[in-house]
Amino acid sequence: MEDVEIPGWAREVRRVAVLTGAGISTDSGVPDYRGPDGVWTRDPKLADAFTHHRFMADPQVRARFWRTYLGHAAWRAEPNAAHHALAELDRAGLAVRILTQNVDGLHQMAGIAARKVLELHGSMRSVVCTGCRARSDAGATLDRVAAGEADPPCRDCGGVLQLAVVLFGQYLDPDTLDQAKRIAAASQLMLAVGSSLLVEPAASLCRLAVGAGARLVIVNRDPTPYDGLADEVIREPIGSALPRIAAALTAAVGAD
């Protein structure tokens, strides 16, 4: 077997927190938000449909939101090499926890147990009623949209339905955020992958981890506000960087 180069930051690491953003899913065909072909880059006005106030106030905004998600690439997406590399790292015996800003569910599809994945911004695979708070599978609501209901109401109470995602103007679930902070503070290595690290409070988990003594490695195409805190910044494509990082961490366990 070919020798694996083990960077210094990979040594004596058993607890790994991985903060993932949209960039980890682009190889699966899911567009990011701020990249050259990103969702907001191609259609800046679409952000209106992702603003909580506008969503709740305007049925036409909700209709556009549902149309957007009806054809979302994530419904057809499969986990890519980066998702699988993190799943392999988990199976190798390290304590891996995923703190994801993504709503696509691809980490779980790659084989990481749902209890090890914190979806900071929610999940597009569920729907919640903003009135009675009933939750259901997103597929049933999207089937109603496909059948002609532009803005399907809750069948239990008639309230406004929303994908179980955090829209602009909404706060992250406090329990989820508190758990993410505990995981970041307990980690020995924080990997920040495919995130601009511009969206708070998720991005500040990097500073929290470093402040608690963790090493920080950032894998992202573009510079981030947290590059100066990192032990290493990796600009190579995520699909090749993550398998290499996972292999190094696994090899380090055997070498330590």
What is the pLDDT, as a whole number, of residue 254? 72
Please compute the mean of the pLDDT values over residues 70-87 and round it to a whole number. Answer: 95
Place of tokens 């609501």: 141
Q: Into which CATH architecture does domain 34-71+125-165 fall?
A: 2-Layer Sandwich (3.30)
CATH numeric code, 1-30+78-121+171-256: 3.40.50.1220
pLDDT band with cut points at 50, 70 and 90 for residue 71: confident
Residue 42: pLDDT above 90? Answer: no
Among candidate residues 99, 112, 113, 105, the one with its CA nearest the CA of residue 78: 105
Residue 43: pLDDT above 70? Answer: no
pLDDT band with cut points at 50, 70 and 90 for residue 68: confident
**Mean confidence (pLDDT) of the chain:** 92
Please compute the mean of the pLDDT values over residues 12-16 and round it to a whole number. Answer: 97
β-partners of residue 123 are 164
The span from the CA of 203 to the CA of 223, in Å, is 13
Mind listing the pLDDT tens digit for each residue in 216-226?
Answer: 999 999 999 99
b/e per residue 62-92 (b: at least 16 CB within 10 A): bbbbbeebeebebeebebbbbbbbbbbbbee
Token pair recorded at residue 180: 């993410």
- Of the ranges 37-46, 191-200, 203-212, 231-240, which one carries the lowest mean pLDDT score? 37-46
What is the pLDDT, as a whole number, of residue 2? 53
Mind listing the pLDDT tens digit for each residue in 234-248?
Answer: 999 999 999 999 999
What is the pLDDT, as a whole number, of residue 255? 72
Mind listing the pLDDT tens digit for each residue in 126-172?
Answer: 999 999 999 999 999 999 999 999 999 999 999 999 999 999 889 99
Distance (Å) of CA 75 to CA 66, 71, 147: 13, 8, 17
Among candidate residues 159, 169, 139, the one with its CA nearest the CA of residue 66: 139
Domain ranges of the chain: 1-30+78-121+171-256, 34-71+125-165
What is the pLDDT, as a whole number, of residue 50? 76
Three-state SS at 20: strand
Distance (Å) of CA 38 to CA 15, 29, 43: 32, 12, 9
Mind listing the pLDDT tens digit for each residue in 81-138?
Answer: 999 999 999 999 999 999 999 999 999 999 999 999 999 999 999 999 999 999 999 9
Q: Do 34-71+125-165 and 1-30+78-121+171-256 fall under one CATH topology?
A: no
Q: Which residues have a catalytic role annotated? A: 121
What is the pLDDT, as a whole number, of residue 45? 63
